[in-house]
Amino acid sequence: MNRIWLLLAPAALLTSGLLTYLMRRFALAHGILDLPNARSSHTTATPRGGGLAIVATTTLALLVLAVLGIVPLNLCMALLVGGVAVAAVGFLDDRRRLAPRWRLAVHTFAAMWAVAWVGGLDAVQVGQSVVHLGWVGKALAVLGVVWVVNLFNFMDGIDGLAAGEALFVACAGALLAAGAGSSGVAAAAWVFAWACAGFLVWNWPPARIFLGDVGSGYLGYVVIVLALAESTTRPTAIWEWFILGSLFFVDSTLTLLRRLFRGERVYEAHRQHAYQRLSRRWGSHLRVTCLVLGIGAAWLLPLSLLAARWPPFALNAVLAAALPVLLGCVLLGAGRRRD
C-alpha cells in the first residue's frame, strides 16, 4: 500500500500541474478570464477554471485506489458522484452566472448523497462522554456539507489561499487518519492533497490561473466528506478537522453573520473577510497566504493532534484554536462594511 501511495502522490502532482497548464492555455485562447472589478482582490485579467485539474486528477486517483481496494466503495461513491455534481454546477456558474437557488439545490443533493454513503455525525466526543446524535447528527452533517462547500468559495479571494488551505488540511488529515488506522481516508486525503499541490504551482502568488467555482466548491466538498467519513469511526475526528480548518470556518462564518444582520445579499461578491482586509493592509497576497498556512502548521496542527491523542480535551483544543482566530478576525474587521 505504501508503495502505491508513493507512486500515486507524484503522479497526482504531475497530472494536476499539467492539466492546470492546459486549462490555462484553453482559458486564454477562449477568453475565459476573471476580470477585475471594484469587489476583486486582483488587478489584472486572469484565466479561471483551473480547479477542473484538481477535480479530474482526484477523480482518476480515487478510481485507481478504489479498484485496488484501498479506498472503500462508500467513500469513493460519496466523493466521486457528489464531488462531480458540485464541480459541474460550479463550472456552469463560471461560464454563466446561475441563480443561487440552483447552486443551493445541487449542493444540498451532494450533501445528502454524501451523508447517505458515509454517514453523518452519529457520535461526537464531549468531554469525557461520547454523545450519540442520531438523526440530528445526520441533519447537521447535511447542513455542514452545504456550508463548507460555500465557505471555500467565499474564502477563495486571494492568490493561493483556498488551494493552499485544502493542501494543508488534507495533508494533516491524512496524517491523523493514518495514525488512527483509517487507511482509506488517509489515502484519499493524500492524493487529493497532491492534486491541490499541482494546481498550486500555477496559483501561487502571483497567480497565473484561478480555481473558479468549479474548483473552490469541490475543495470544500472533499474536505468535509473526508472529515465525516473519519468521524464515523472516531468521535473526536470532526473536532480535529474543524481545528485544522478553523481559520476558514471562523472568518467566513463571522463575516456571513454580520452581513446577514445588515440584510445584505450574502451570495454577492464582496471584500469584507478578514483575510481580504489584511491583504489590502499589507498590500500582499503572498504574505497573507503564508501567514494562514504558517498558523495552520505551527498552531492548529499541534492542537488537532492533541485532540486526537486525548479525546476528553478535544473541545478544549477547539476553543484554543477558534477563540484566538475569532479575536483576530474581529480586530481585522471581518464582515464590517467599511475599511
- Each residue's pLDDT tens digit, 207-247: 999 999 999 999 999 999 999 999 999 999 999 999 999 99
CA dist., res. 227 & res. 232, Å (int): 9
| Beta carbons of 256 and 243 less than 8 angstroms apart | no
Contacts (Cβ under 8 Å, ≥6 apart) of 9: 190, 191, 194
Domain count, the chain: 1
CA–CA gap between residue 179 and residue 233 (Å, rounded): 13
Q: Poorest-confidence range of 3-7, 198-202, 207-211?
A: 3-7
Q: Is residue 338 part of a domain?
A: no
- pLDDT band for 263, please (50, 70, 90 cuts): confident
Give the end-to-end CA distance of the chain in Å, rounded to a whole number: 51
The neighbour count for residue 207, using CB atoms within 10 Å, is 23
Return the H-helix or E-strand segment holding 131.
strand 129-132
Q: How far is Cα 334 from Cα 247, in angstroms, rounded to an integer?
A: 12
Domain interval for residue 314: 2-332
pLDDT band at 97 (very low <50, low <70, confident <90, very high): confident
Cα 324 vs. chain centroid, distance in angstroms?
21
Q: What is the overall mean pLDDT for the chain?
A: 93
Domain contains 337 = no
Task: Determine, yes or no, domain membership for 58.
Answer: yes
- Inform me whether the pLDDT recorded for 191 exceeds 60: yes
Does residue 339 form part of some domain?
A: no
pTM: 0.95
Nearest alpha-carbon partner for 189 in 301, 306, 61: 61
pLDDT of residue 41: 66
